[in-house]
Chain A
């Protein structure tokens, strides 16, 4: 049964998702990591209670991905239709980590040329509607966006805003399902399989099944079930890279819609976390860290 003490708030979240998938950062790419050097101490798992156990695993995974300060990456999204034809878009992403208030995110499109420069700023607000601003270079206007649907498609991809959100452990009722091995090309991954039932209103799903790597504490796979309880989509993260001996990032994330046969692949390159401690491969110097004052509407229109 679902834990009665779950603090999952019934988020008002109809307005939760912000425009332009600023959340892209969070869940998609950031699946947390345990520090190889100094692993976080495991909580005292209550294995007898699947609800508490599941929640503990989810929260621990969440905690493992804290402290990366800031992040930037370049990415492409490729949209495949049922026939396998595809189109590609490229973007740059900048994130400023804020532990409790929610991250600040800028996404800026780079390709195709006609949308180059379209940029979105999002302030994540856990438990309430995020704040979003969008800049269109053709009109040179920044517009504040209200009330976008959580269940809306991100960019016409198979991702919705909800999928992009950080899968905040507090917004779900959790249940431990099993310890399993996910088979894939490069071998088998030991995972915890958890069920997550959204406790907020504006959701497109009846439940999620999340597979968390048992050693690396990262989300390997998420299965999304539609309101009728049928499998709708599967998200697979692959090609993991570890930063600073702690934080895991997938270089490739694929979302497959089983009902329409369409899929979207996000590939990330040049990822850097904790920029002050990362070196620029070209200059060999440390990168300039992102500061919170960069995350304003002004920065959207350089």
Chain B
């Protein structure tokens, strides 16, 4: 034993002496951390659920531990698009929509058929009663603003001058006549589209002989989202609030969980009504008792509360008389074989009543779309994938027991993995994080890491056990040999994970932190629990024969392998260099992508509904183009505060009054005239902020929108992905048309020319109400626009309100579109194309307003874009740190350099395959590289350690290589198999990025094994030859070839 090895020996002795206290202390700490985490989760589950409006939890429902919100992926980004997105959420309203869509292809009137409209009206009304639903947009519940007379007024004398504001359908749609149905079809689709459906003659019939078809342009804000151009497919768009968690004093994960649960509950409410529509909701056996109990309540308040609970569409249970949850209804679903089972509480399925046959209220088949469904799918798929853990453990346990021929060894290795997982999950929860689709992988990763640590000890123990003289000697030897290499591999693995924390994509950073923590826990457990448990077992050869692990390399086989490698080293290294070149070419061509659709399996029912909706109506993603006033002007407040405004008005009144010759007003003096001029300038600058009413800006915007539509219609344009575009211009053009008798010529942005000529100059008039002088400002296109908006704002429902499209201070305009689900680069191309059109064709608009393209879909795409650069960054950092570590530990720069080849090649090769085959790599999966790097490097470190030790003991050339191979062959083969199995189980999951990650990691780890067994020895052999040559040149012989690169405490076998 050399002096350098002494610390390892002392460490081993110390571990042996204190093995039990240390093992118990480690386990207790893990339990403590886990408990702290669960307490934290329990606390916020309690705080979230105690908020009275969060109903809908069945008794068996598990705690909230998963954060499926898409926000988590981009909330950490710090760019304009993200900050603008959150700003508009605050300014307008934070919500998502769920679209409930169906087709009525059989009916001649399409969705304007009575039964379709009745279904829409019924569902609209029901959806509005769901807590968390802010608004519903549907064919029956959208504003219909028109000139003329309302249905219920007979030929009123002033009909032509009336402005009629109402809903498309008021009352029971079944009562509408055919003419009234066609009238509504024309109002929504326009006369031309309606003619295509029912014939020109029929439309002419309804509109009258004088009608100009061109004046009936329909309702552009509904076509595309609420109804398709042909009137065959409709969607009921349910706006669900993302509940403001700040109001409930929640932060971080609790806020996310609250927000998500609130929205999720509303989604359950929607599904409840759809099931009811399909005749699949039946009262439970206990419902009659509940009603009886409720009606027997003396206190009306209590009765009211109970009725609310009983009729809450979000829940199937309510608290019954004895405080326990009682089932209110059964929500049934066809199992595919004609049997119906309740789906709300899968833990205790309840069958439908005997002889149940559903009686649907309508024959339509409904399709659901919208972000909340994707988010729920994320969670369901993520949690389901988490359910694969037991299977993975079983496979690994059997495999380990077989490979090491030790059941106890396998069991203790698994215990290390489980301990690391529990500690890590507890640690994450205690920090206030919830799980997400990315961190759901932590258990798989830590299983691999924990087992890899333990297996090196178990494997050494199994090999040396037959020859051991005492338990103490055996355990100390095992610890001595492995303490430092395992520490080093743990550190390099942790470095790989830590590199992920550089990511601004939060789930990836979270995965990095927790996995790095778990790696260190796994090391501590390996060095305490494993020796303690192994020390319980007897030593010596029990059954006479040495039990051979199936994959052990005998001394003879190692020697032959080593000789082969040294002989063929030129070929091996040559192939490796060719591969390096190929890999570099491939990796350079890798395309990072995050297409939500590709996150789920092809047959996923949620995504199938999305596809259906994109084919029939509009895209499932959102697009926001926000036009904001530049804020480089002096604060508008100073020019707009009370005093300044009334002073300005007083001065204006006097100026105009004296011009008009009002005797009772004193003309302005020179000082006052100067003051007025100053104040007019300040007011004009403040007015410049109000781009939302500026005819110049709106005119440009109008042309810009038309230009975008032109591009949207071209299949080759990136903008073809946009399926709908709405803006406050729709309202403005409509108001202008309606105000001018409904003529299509006025369906445009109004300007100065549309202002009454007598209103162009300011006036002072006597106010009949107060008998005082009243200043009437000069009117312009700007005031006309502002007044139209004001008029509209008074007619619309709160949900339809202009305030969701135009900020109240008129400084921000929102153009909203729907985007098809697509690869992220296609979404980014949309953004870039919009910017290009703006910059090259609309420089005036770009100069007048700050334009930001954003939205959740866009932010998600940007995340993918960012991942590409961050992936390179994390790889580079991990590689650099690991190489430096290897260099330091082996005190050899050349070994550090050599390690680069077998460490990077296994990672680059599989990635390059994606580049060469031009398959986009999904963003989360890209990060597998730095994880795999940390794991791959383990093999190299173990090999180098044993090689250096062999050289130190005097072996040279193929002998040293053979010795190293003999020692590490078994453990690295076993760990490689276990790791491949561990990552391989991810292939059984449904979350596609994780499948990809699993297979990539398995491929990388397998390749790492191959390169470490063949390439590393070949390169080492070259290095030795080169060193020997150099030493001959300098003629300074040293006692051993590697005297300056020593010190791996790797005691050889006895």
Residues of chain A having any CB pair with chain B under 8 Å: 1, 14-15, 19-21, 50, 72, 79, 81-83, 85, 87-88, 92, 94, 106, 108-109, 111-118, 134, 136-141, 143-149, 151-156, 158, 160, 175, 177, 204, 226-230, 258-261, 288, 290, 294, 299, 302
Contacts and interface: CB of A to CB of B under 8 A. Distances in A.
Nearest to B303: A1
B790 A19 contact: no
A81 B786 contact: no
Given A152-B796, A175-B300, 4 more contacts: A137-B776, A146-B163, A146-B165, A227-B128
Contacts of A137: 759, 776, 779, 783, 787
A116 B787 CA distance: 9
Interface stretch (B115-123, B516-524, B761-769, B930-938): B761-769
B358 interface: no
Contacts of B780: 138
Nearest to A206: B129
A259 B134 contact: yes
B162 A143 contact: yes
8 contacts: A92-B769, A137-B776, A138-B784, A143-B161, A149-B797, A160-B798, A260-B244, A261-B244
B769 A106 contact: yes
Interface residues of B, number: 81
A139 B784 contact: yes
Contact of B164 (A81, A147, A302): A147
Contacts of B754: 139
Interface of B: 53, 90-94, 128-131, 133-134, 143, 149-150, 152-153, 158, 161-167, 170, 241, 243-244, 246-247, 300-301, 304, 308, 312, 640, 645, 683, 687, 690, 693, 739, 754-756, 758-759, 765-771, 774-777, 779-780, 782-788, 790-791, 793-798, 801-803, 808-809
B165 to A, nearest CB: 5
Contacts of B90: 81-83
A87 B809 CA distance: 6
Nearest to A80: B808
A228 B130 contact: yes
A113 B770 CA distance: 20
A81 B91 contact: yes
Contacts of B790: 109, 115, 118, 155
A145 B133 CA distance: 29
A62 B177 CA distance: 43
B759 A156 contact: no
Contacts of B150: 15, 146-147
Contacts of A106: 769
A144 B769 CA distance: 21
B247, B301, B739, B808: most-surrounded residue (chain A CB, <10 A)? B808
A158 B799 CA distance: 11
A260 B787 CA distance: 26
A203 to B, nearest CB: 12
Nearest first, the 8 closest Cβ-Cβ pairs linking A and B are A114-B786, A138-B784, A140-B756, A83-B90, A147-B166, A138-B779, A87-B808, A156-B803
Nearest to B790: A115
A228 B777 contact: no
A302 B767 contact: yes
Q: Taking each of A15, A146, A154, A175, which has the highest tally of chain B beta carbons within 10 Å of its own beta carbon?
A: A146
Nearest to A299: B768
Contact of B683 (A88, A113, A138, A294): A113
Given A114-B690, A260-B93, A144 B158 contact: yes
Contact of B755 (A139, A149, A155, A175): A139
Contacts of B775: 116
Contact of A149 (B166, B779, B788, B803): B166
Contacts of A72: 769-770
A72 B769 CA distance: 9
Contact of B795 (A83, A85, A138, A152): A152
Nearest to B788: A136
A71 to B, nearest CB: 12
B53 A138 contact: no
B793 A227 contact: no
A114 B766 CA distance: 20
Contact of B739 (A94, A117, A141, A294): A141
Contact of B165 (A81, A82, A92, A149): A149
A20 B795 CA distance: 9
A136 B787 contact: yes
A259 B427 CA distance: 34
A94 B793 contact: no
Contact of A148 (B165, B687, B803): B165
Contacts of B131: 226, 228-230
A134 B787 CA distance: 11
A180 to B, nearest CB: 13
B163 A260 contact: no
A161 B790 CA distance: 14
Contacts of A299: 768-769
A187 to B, nearest CB: 26
